[in-house]
Amino acid sequence: MRGLEGKVAIVTGGAQGIGRAVVDRLVTEGVTVTIADMHPEFGPAAAAEVNSGGGRAWHAQVDVSVEEQVAAAVEETMLRFGRIDYLVNCAAVFIMRGVEATVEEWRRSNDVNIMGQALCVKHVAKHMAVQGGAIVNIASISGHIAQPEYVLYNSAKAAVANMTRCLAMDLADQGIRVNAVNPGTVWNANNERFHREVLKMSREQAEADPEIGGRHMLKRVADPEEIAGPIAFLLSDDASFITGENLMIDGGYTAM
């Protein structure tokens, strides 16, 4: 995709799932990546795998809800690579709770899913303003629909969707585009574990279930790579006139 080669990106939550797929896709496009992920094992392993394959990446152990850690990772990225062109806010926490959610659960969900993304944008924007840049936030179809026992997650993702529009307006004069993607169900490690251990379903069974795969027009769930491709597009110069958008990547879920 046009304009990606030679650029530098920070991908939060980049050690697993959609984040890891984004890292791999950007590396194939010639992007250098900071993998900002709090996992002490998967983060370094992801960076080592990228570097052994000929790409360029390093791991910053970051809890995105802690501003000091976010700021340190951003400054270290500047010291190492001299620029920051892209930010992909993938880091998230999923707490399945409804009305019975505790104050602590609300705070953790909002601190990571909303404030964490905002903090990352805050600290990269001043560096992006030098040459312009692009940001993609990970929202969800859950921010646009109602689901039972999903109050915490859906509320946070709805906030991300509208925060994206506000940030796009605030940063447009600095040449920074801000968009969000809204995935449907994605078959990553966490979802696989949930379906296997809680719902007692394989992927094939989940996709055949009318309440899971059947909710999507394409009658299946997505692979992480199917989310990473549109994210790479939104970062690239091919999307140079797109900002403030919430792109649905949901197999037709929200169209039905």
> Which residues is 222 bridged to in the sheet?
186
**Whether 26 contacts 9, CB under 8 Å:** yes
Which sequence positions are flagged as catalytic?
153
Distance CA 210, CA 193 (A): 20
CA angle 168, 169, 172 (to 5 degrees): 75
Q: pLDDT for 50-77, tens place per residue?
A: 999 999 999 999 999 999 999 999 999 9
Is the pLDDT at 15 greater than 90? The verdict is yes
Q: Where in the chain is the domain with CATH 3.40.50.720?
A: 8-184+226-248
Q: Which residues contact 111 (CB under 8 A, 6 or more apart)?
A: 65
Percent of the chain whose pLDDT exceeds 90? 96
Q: Which amino acid is at 203?
A: R
Tokens of 180: 């969000």
Which CATH code is given to the segment(s) 8-184+226-248? 3.40.50.720
Q: Do 35 and 90 touch, CB atoms closer than 8 A? A: no
Residue 204 CB neighbours (<10 A): 10
Summarised one tens digit per residue, pLDDT across range 204-248 is: 999 999 999 999 999 999 999 999 999 999 999 999 999 999 999
Give, as one character, the DSSP assignment of residue 115: I
